[in-house]
Structure 1
Amino acid sequence: MEMALTPLPLLGFSFLFLVLSSCSLANGRDTPSSSSSSPATSTWVSSYLCWLVVIVVHHHFHRELVIAAVLACIATVTIFLSTLYAWTLWRRSRRSTGGKVTRSSDAAKGIKLVPILSRFNSVKMSRKRLVGMFEYPSLEAATEKFSESNMLGVGGFGRVYKAAFDAGVTAAVKRLDGGGPDCEKEFENELDLLGRIRHPNIVSLLGFCIHEGNHYIVYELMEKGSLETQLHGSSHGSTLSWHIRMKIALDTARGLEYLHEHCSPPVIHRDLKSSNILLDSDFNAKIADFGLAVSSGSVNKGSVKLSGTFGYVAPEYLLDGKLTEKSDVYAFGVVLLELLMGRKPVEKMSPPQCQSIVTWAMPQLTDRSKLPSIVDPVIKDTMDPKHLYQVAAVAVLCVQAEPSYRPLITDVLHSLVPLVPTELGGTLRAGEPPSPNLRNSPC
């Protein structure tokens, strides 16, 4: 029996040497990053292992107990060394990146990915994502120092420039005019919303920059510009066929439907208009400019400053300050009239005075015999008359003075889908008649 137990002390002393070596490593003599380890923890583990081996070697336990103790020591040392090795690798990784969330491919472009600042939380939603923070020199170089030749548009908010970054990447940079709390609030509001919203019919936010008190927002580039430019610019809508116009209306309705029905809480855009509907190279429409957007849960009468664009603002909001999702539906109806008639929302009619197209067109929109006379000449003879009546009916319901008479944007969406060809995102097939979905149609 003594012969069988003879190797065990040798095994114990050999294992003691292994444990002492591991103790030395844990105490920092063999590990480059040991300065940040916990000496108390390392000492405790070392003492425990050494004590366990001494007990095994110098006490006469039964054979099974000795073997179990030795195996326990081996397992403990293995776990400890594995944990220490993984922790060392993690520390080296943290030290090499400086603790920042960056991408090497973006570093050369002057872009750093950072979480949206915690103060950008006026509209609470379910998720946040990383937003690119651009360095000002990279924006200045990409826009050729914000040259006039790269300017895409100008409005009350500021100017938009085309930016060409390295590797052929292009984007749009909006430089906000002015300063003060209102400008900063709109800037924060737009980052807050677009930093969390992802939808095919809402423009994508790429990043932002703050330089010497000026605010810049970087978006995806929409090659065809705004719907306003396409309709009322030099081309006068000649590039927009009937089906393309219906596709633009459908895309816009889908973007609004996402804001109203799928965001929590629902989001009211508050400044929907043709200049805030952007078009890509395939005439896919996306809603932009969320500086004035608010969550419906935070809106009370008189709590929101009156904002928007004359001609698109709903009557109840203009007169009483009452703001709901139906305010966006009214603005959408005005955009639909623009697409139908090719007119601006406010024009000089005869007699010479400014008048909204809603007031001017309402009598003709509800009279089938007069309706064709107000249609944009560019598309007048290119659509099915039944489709024309259906779109006119949707527009009339959207611009009703009484908010409760207006449809939900979901109902509008369902009414437009059958009017758009399948290849453009609708359900209309060649030779198929429209199927009205809105009830109480005035046409």
Structure 2
Amino acid sequence: MGGKHANKLREVQREITFYLQLFPLVSFVDTTRSWERLMSRAHPYKDTADELHRVHHSEHGIRFNTETLKVTELGDQGVTQSPEVFEEKRSERTSIRSVNLDQLVVLDDVGKGAVLTFSQILAATNNFSGRSLIGEGGFGSVYKGKLPNGLEIAVKRHDTSSHQGEEEFMAEIDVIPKLRQENIIELIGFCVQGKEWILVYEYISNGSLASIIRDETKRTSLNWSKRLKIIEGISDGLLYLQKHSAMCIVHRDIKASNILLDHEMNAKISDFGLATKLAPNATAEVLVRGTWGYADPEYVATGIISDKTDVYSFGIVLLEIISGKLCVSESNIKGTSQRVIFPEFALKNRKKLHKLIDPSLGAKKHERAQIMQCLRVAMLCIRDRAEHRPTMSEVVTMIPSSKTPKDRKVPALFLSKLYACTQHMKVLNAFCSLSVF
């Protein structure tokens, strides 16, 4: 009994220490954010809104024009150069200010070790050497490092010329430390010293889902059981964010390059820079930001997010996993325009969904039924109107499982959703007039 009380006391002390160290950072960011909100309201600017409302709304897809920003995605943890990230124009980009917080705060309740200083980060990354560089992202450069205890880490160092800044940094350190789920990437800590803003994560060895889909050799090594495992991991992670994390979290940037895969091909959802917390079953009006091809068309047109926003993006990723194709055409990636493959291609072939399947899969007979079921779920997820999409809890119950019910860890509460799921499937079957192999 005494030991339990001592452990609880230590946990409380660690939380108090963590938040005390956070105060200097929060105070100046709060002031900056307040000013930015006054200068740049959450709803779309008039010129952006006028353009977005010329969007074609239908179940046959959606087109929208936004200012495309050239960025580079996470490398060894999933880098690809593609001008696919968009955001509404801001009146002013907030720059990083100098903060006197010469310390990396490590969340030691996760059991990863002692507090690290900036000099220890330098040592871990060999002074941010070129050999340690594993990629470039929207936030900045990403380096692979190793702590003295042997733990491999991914260090994301802010680039002052980046369009991302305090808001994304604060979203990461505000959201991820509170999450405890195997399909959510672990934030080990962060560092602020002068103009240095650094985020430190667990290192994920197999990189991103996007990098594997893009590499033909790696993609063909992904049999159906591995792909289904990835699908289950992503869906379980999203369900956790919405239902079991003590807050409803909308990620807002679910895409193949933000899904990392560990050495056992377990999916890890990463990059929470755009994450927004909602009350259960609520909606919110926010600045429209995201990634071309993955973003919920209703959110892009209205600026309103809900728990169905990530469901749409999940549907696109699901189609990518099954088809072995990324949603944005690679051939036009360096041009002035991009061609979005999904959902147009999927909707065009909705009566012959098997045409979407990656030929390299070589699925067995019992696997084909699972693949077709996942395709049906994807078609439900990518419907234009949020009210016509299933919830994430319904999605989880509809996805075929490679696990036993005990291993699946789906709460009994969601079994009551099966009737609603059945109704969704009836609608889809009528819509698709599905053919089988």
Task: Show CA shifts across 1:371-426 (max 9, x none).
Answer: 3333112214446321221111000000001111110111111122x342559955
SS at match of 2:358: coil
Asked if the contact 2:278/2:284 (under 8 Å) is kept, the reply is: no
Matches within 5 A, 1:238-387: 238-297=220-279, 302=285, 304-347=286-329, 354-364=339-349, 366-368=350-352, 371-382=353-364, 384-387=367-370
Distance 1:391 1:385 in 2: 10
Root-mean-square deviation (Å): 3.3
Task: Show CA shifts across 1:130-162 (max 9, x none).
Answer: 687531111111111222322333222222211
Alignment-derived partner of residue 78 in structure 2: none
Alignment-derived partner of residue 371 in structure 2: 388
Residue 399 to residue 295, structure 1, CA distance change in 2 (3 Å): same
Residue 180 to residue 159, structure 1, CA distance change in 2 (3 Å): closer
Alignment-derived partner of residue 157 in structure 1: 139
Alignment-derived partner of residue 84 in structure 1: none
Distance 2:381 2:228 in 1: 16
Residue number among 94, 114, 125 corresponding to 2:18 in the alignment: 114
Give the letter aligned to residue 355 of structure 1. V
Distance 1:425 1:252 in 2: 16
Distance 2:407 2:161 in 1: 41
| Identity value in percent | 33
After TM superposition, the runs of 4+ consecutive aligned structure 1 residues lying more than 4 A away are: 128-133, 179-182, 298-302, 421-427
Residue number among 386, 391, 416 corresponding to 1:408 in the alignment: 391
Residue number among 187, 203, 209 corresponding to 2:191 in the alignment: 209
Matched, 1:136 2:118: yes
Residue 169 to residue 179, structure 1, CA distance change in 2 (3 Å): same
SS at match of 1:168: coil
Aligned-pair CA distance for 1:270: 0.6
Residue 216 to residue 382, structure 1, CA distance change in 2 (3 Å): farther
Gap regions ≥5 residues in structure 2: 1-12, 31-106, 410-420
Distance 1:349 1:153 in 2: 22
Distance 1:315 1:280 in 2: 31
Aligned-pair CA distance for 1:354: 1.3
Aligned-pair CA distance for 1:265: 3.1
Moved more, 239-248 or 393-402: 239-248
Distance 1:239 1:181 in 2: 36
Matched, 1:399 2:382: yes
Residue 167 to residue 311, structure 1, CA distance change in 2 (3 Å): same
- For normalisation by structure 1, the TM-score amounts to 0.64
Matches within 5 A, 1:70-89: none
Task: Show CA shifts across 1:202-257 (max 9, x none).
Answer: 11111111133121111111111111111113635123211111111111111110
Q: Which has the higher contact order (CA 8 A, sep 6+)?
A: 2
Distance 2:251 2:322 in 1: 22
Matches within 5 A, 1:172-251: 172-178=154-160, 183-233=165-215, 235-251=217-233
Task: Show CA shifts across 1:102-149 (max 9, x none).
Answer: 9xxxxxxxxxx7346243999xxxxx9868753111111111122232
Asked if the contact 2:323/2:356 (under 8 Å) is kept, the reply is: yes
Residue 130 to residue 388, structure 1, CA distance change in 2 (3 Å): closer
Asked if the contact 2:311/2:392 (under 8 Å) is kept, the reply is: yes
Residue 396 to residue 349, structure 1, CA distance change in 2 (3 Å): farther
Aligned-pair CA distance for 1:176: 2.3
Asked if the contact 2:139/2:164 (under 8 Å) is kept, the reply is: no
Residue 160 to residue 422, structure 1, CA distance change in 2 (3 Å): farther
Distance 1:332 1:129 in 2: 32
Aligned-pair CA distance for 1:180: 8.8
